[in-house]
Structure 1
Amino acid sequence: MSMRNVVKLCPKRCLLSHFKASSPAIIMSSNNRPISNGVANYQKVLTVDNMNQNIKKVEYAVRGPIVVRAGAIRKELEQGAEKPFSEVISANIGDAHAMGQSPITFLRQVVALCIYPELFKSNEFPEDAKNRAKRILGACGGGSVGAYSASQGIEVIRNDVANYIEKRDGGIKADPNNVFLCTGASDGVVAMLKLLVAGVGKDRTGAMIPIPQYPLYSATLAELNATMVPYYLDEDNNWALDIDELQRAFDEGKKTCKPRVLCVINPGNPTGQVLSHDNVVEVIKFAKKNHLFLMSDEVYQDNVYAEGCAFHSFKRVLHELGPEYSENVELASFHSISKGYMGECGFRGGYMEAINLDSKVKEQLRKLVSTRLCPPVTGQAALDVVMNPPQPGEPSFEQFDKEKRQVLGTLAEKARLTAEMFNSIPGITCNTVQGAMYSFPRITIPEKAVAEAKARNETPDSFYAGHLLEETGICIVPGSGFGQRPGTYHFRMTILPPLDKMKSLFKLFRDFHTSFTKRYQ
């Protein structure tokens, strides 16, 4: 029977039932969009094609695919899956407490009192902790850390930051009005780069970034559509910062952009080097000569381990060079409670000190940070404890000093062990970990493995890190996520796991690297 006859013989309801039973109906809506089961296939307003394309360029290897896979494996183990290992060792990120480091007692006492003032009635808390908590709460709206603070941060805490900087730098004046409290140091770095990025084409801001670098910088520059001007650290000289290489990078950058800012990470992440005093002098002179804004990431300033090394703040050296530099060179320096001996990553506390800014630019910076309302007030309180720790003669001093020295001493031992153990494995070389919390060893990857990685559209170091994770449970970050000289392969590994776990980790690493190399010979 023809379809025309079906239409004549069947009632309308019967005809619709026939079509429903035989095939999905394709009916057009009034605006000519296809309807499936009576509902228009709604077109998303935001798609991967019409979204901000700069975001697609953003990469952050520290929490990249290897780390995501590590999380999935951890869940598989919890569900009883059989693996050649019993746990995932997260050696990928500088999260001290997640790796088992104990909190500093005095810091937690002060923050606990700020969060829950009823604890002031308890005899379990020392008087110096109570006094600090009362001082912080007295500067909070309504006497509560639940209230917003000033956008630049609580004034008494900014005063403590300024006093800390003055003491650290041997009495050089620090103005609290130049201090901006931040959601960790990262927030300050991003804010300053936002101010610096301008122009189009060859006038677009270029930012000089060390390679290897902490990927916050490359990610932020990608988001802002700015130009990254990479300068390579000297691996053969313990990741030193070479001025001739700075000049090469600057000259090369001028061909495509306008280099306006020089970023330095000291002590280094991921490389663990500590700049010498003379090196800091050279960098400052280079910045002035080439009219560059200096950004000094100093979040690891407490983490210096190697004999003969010391932390030299850019601000202090700037002032040592006299008014020609100290009154002219624009400098933003950053510190955080996430690292050091504190390791309080989750509180998200930090500061930025910005000196020699144009007064009108400083007003714009204040306006910019005000759009975030304020940094977390609990993080500000935790920062204040680091800036204003117990002093000799106070009830908490001895315990605080003991805990601080114990944490830093253990880190120093693990830094020494890291270089020693990696250098004992054929095919792996590791510079001395002078400071910070990471090593950045260089690995030899067989050509067959390199070829297989490329066939899979993976970088060779990601291929290596993936096998390491699947076979041993050790999670590291491929060096390509930080940048490296072409033709070289590295990975970043934190020195934070407990000492006994570090020793077992190196045995696993040795066995894996040996078998991996033989497999692809």
Structure 2
Amino acid sequence: MLRALWPRRLVAMAMAAAAAGARRGPVLTPESMNPAVRRVEYAVRGPIVTRALELEQELRNGVPKPFTEVIKANIGDAQAMGQQPITFLRQVAALCLCPELMKDEALPSDAKERARRLLAACGGQSVGSYSASPGLPLVREKVARYIERRDGGVPANPGDIFLSTGASDAIVNILKLLVSGTGSSRTGVLIPIPQYPLYSAALAELEAVPLGYLLAEERCWALDVAELRRALAEGRGRCCPRVLCIINPGNPTGQVQSRECIEDVIRFAYEEKLFLMADEVYQENIYDKDSAFHSFKKVLAEMGPPYADSVELASFHSVSKGYHGECGLRGGYVEVVNLHPEVKAELSKLVSVRLCPPVLGQVVLDGIVDPPQPGDPSYERFQAEKTAVLSSLAEKARLTEQILNRTPGIHCNPVQGAMYSFPRIDLPPRALAAAKEKQQAPDMFFCMRLLEETGICVVPGSGFGQKEGTFHFRMTILPPTEKLKQVLEQLSSFYTKFVKEFS
């Protein structure tokens, strides 16, 4: 009897399951998802950029606008703004991707030899194979020799160098090692204000505690140790500060730190037992004749004991910036100094989870850290292209400061380095009220109006952090010189009109 009932019972169970399945809601909802992810914001690709993309589509569809193109000056993407790739880097990359091009007599012999060495270092002699998780040993060795040359002979160990998917990936991995604890013992991280939003976004995701220290706008965005002490003291009341992040040259501010400032920061990190993270991706982008790049690694080594042998440092570089601007190929590295051997082993484990950084990015990094030398077939062209890019950027940095400062109400510090200006704008009270009515930050309100009326896309300063009561925007200096002049003039005219409207 029981056996005879089983088929009916199974049918009933199946029907009940099907009915339940029809009613089943999603497992992942805005309420059930990781709340840390909901707190992540990334201003350079935020709502302004979303609207810019919509406007581009509307233009393609023939919707009338008061402009003919959208100019995306929101992000440091050199080649998107028309900068041409460095020929030697692309030749080597092309040869590695298509080794049959070795037969092409138009390609220089040094590019072919470079590609052969790189392919020999790859599994199966193919850039389509995985590399070792920290990167190709050949390229890590080249990076170490580059650092030694840059730093005047300060030794660099390839075993301390981990190649990465751009600098961003390496920065997040180092933060993962550093963030721990709960409540008042949770890791606090000192970050500059204004800061590059990667830091605030990564800290939100890791649920670390950001501790902002203000850069001094009135002194060309200088870093002041007294302000570091203030931020540290404030942070110790609610978390455990363990990390100090420095961006030099600055993003979004474009300042270049003096050697004296770097020494002061290292002493501060030593005294307060802080781990130093030095974001140095713009180290080749120096335009001010009175400024020079000093790496934290070199200054630390030259300060000697007790600093040189105890202050922990991670420094970062990237193929995305400099004169090369290979943002999409995703290459970079981190060098660690004074890292505990067991922690370094854990870092090795952490990078192995992602298997390896893009091999093509490693190929390009190899060409950047070991460029053609005098006498090589590619040397003269390489030098000419590099010089042209950096000279053009220096001219555009000067133009940006000059044109923006002509306009009453816009205040732009000298762009000493990097690829951005971060001007302050005076906004009248009626504009602040209009922004409040729209539930927008005042500089977001200004930037959105600028985009809608001129097609110029810049990022509001509120996305980077700024001193309370001040308003800014960040824009790149990357558009071609003539177009940049037009953008700056349009922006200045719009600002004047905007202020008049709300005065």
Give TM class, smaller chain: over 0.9
Distance 1:265 1:511 in 2: 32
SS in structure 2 of the partner of residue 40 of structure 1: helix
Question: TM-score, structure 2 length as denominator?
Answer: 0.96
Aligned residue in 2 for 1:316: 298
Alignment of 1:369-448 (within 5 A): 369-448=351-430
Aligned residue in 1 for 2:188: 206
- CA shift, 1:41, in A, is 3.8
SS in structure 1 of the partner of residue 474 of structure 2: strand
Q: Which runs of 5+ in 2 are unaligned?
A: 1-14
- For 1:315-346, what per-residue CA distance to the aligned partner results, in whole angstroms no more than 9, with x for missing partners? 00001101311111100000001000000000
Aligned residue in 1 for 2:312: 330
Q: How many residues align?
A: 489
Distance 1:33 1:483, change over 3 A: farther
Aligned residue in 1 for 2:197: 215
Aligned residue in 2 for 1:283: 265
Aligned residue in 1 for 2:478: 496
Aligned partner (choices 95, 108, 111) of residue 93 of structure 2: 111
Aligned partner (choices 340, 348, 361) of residue 330 of structure 2: 348
Aligned residue in 1 for 2:5: none
- Whether 2:131 is the aligned partner of 1:149: answer yes
Distance 1:31 1:232 in 2: 59
Alignment of 1:226-241 (within 5 A): 226-241=208-223
Distance 1:513 1:30 in 2: 65
Distance 2:18 2:98 in 1: 60
- Whether 2:445 is the aligned partner of 1:452: answer no
Equivalent pair of 2:76/2:478 in contact (CA under 8 Å): yes
Aligned residue in 2 for 1:14: none
- Whether 2:224 is the aligned partner of 1:242: answer yes
Distance 1:408 1:81 in 2: 38
Aligned residue in 1 for 2:81: 99
Distance 2:492 2:266 in 1: 42
- CA shift, 1:31, in A, is 6.8
Aligned residue in 2 for 1:265: 247
Alignment of 1:457-468 (within 5 A): 457-468=439-450
Aligned partner (choices 289, 307, 326) of residue 289 of structure 2: 307
Aligned residue in 1 for 2:66: 84
Aligned residue in 1 for 2:116: 134
The percentage of aligned residue pairs carrying the same residue is 60
Aligned residue in 1 for 2:25: 43
Aligned residue in 1 for 2:453: 471
Question: TM-score, structure 1 length as denominator?
Answer: 0.93
Distance 2:302 2:195 in 1: 28
- CA shift, 1:42, in A, is 3.0
Distance 2:445 2:177 in 1: 38
Aligned residue in 2 for 1:59: 41
Distance 1:341 1:444 in 2: 34
SS in structure 2 of the partner of residue 399 of structure 1: helix
Distance 1:244 1:324 in 2: 22
Aligned partner (choices 350, 365, 368) of residue 347 of structure 2: 365
Distance 1:148 1:484 in 2: 42
- CA shift, 1:511, in A, is 1.6
- For 1:97-121, what per-residue CA distance to the aligned partner results, in whole angstroms no more than 9, with x for missing partners? 0000000000000000001000001
Equivalent pair of 2:323/2:386 in contact (CA under 8 Å): yes
- CA shift, 1:178, in A, is 0.2
Distance 1:355 1:153 in 2: 18
Q: Which runs of 5+ in 1 are unaligned?
A: 1-28
Distance 1:510 1:436 in 2: 22
Distance 1:157 1:467 in 2: 47
Q: Once superposed, which parts of structure 1, at least 4 consecutive aligned residues long, lie more than 3 Å away?
A: 29-34
Structure 2 residue identity aligned to 1:378: L
- For 1:120-159, what per-residue CA distance to the aligned partner results, in whole angstroms no more than 9, with x for missing partners? 0110111111111111111000000000000000000000
Q: What's the Cα RMSD here? A: 1.1
Distance 2:489 2:359 in 1: 43
Distance 2:500 2:431 in 1: 11
Distance 2:221 2:314 in 1: 23
- For 1:255-301, what per-residue CA distance to the aligned partner results, in whole angstroms no more than 9, with x for missing partners? 00010000000000000000001000000000000000000000000
Distance 1:159 1:287 in 2: 29
Structure 2 residue identity aligned to 1:186: S
Distance 1:63 1:398 in 2: 38
SS in structure 2 of the partner of residue 392 of structure 1: coil
- For 1:39-81, what per-residue CA distance to the aligned partner results, in whole angstroms no more than 9, with x for missing partners? 8243001000010000000000000000010011011111111
- For 1:198-236, what per-residue CA distance to the aligned partner results, in whole angstroms no more than 9, with x for missing partners? 011111000000000000000000000000010000000
Aligned residue in 2 for 1:508: 490
Alignment of 1:153-232 (within 5 A): 153-232=135-214
- For 1:347-404, what per-residue CA distance to the aligned partner results, in whole angstroms no more than 9, with x for missing partners? 0000000111000000000000000000000000011000110001111100000000
Structure 2 residue identity aligned to 1:397: Y
Distance 2:427 2:24 in 1: 49
Distance 1:304 1:457 in 2: 39
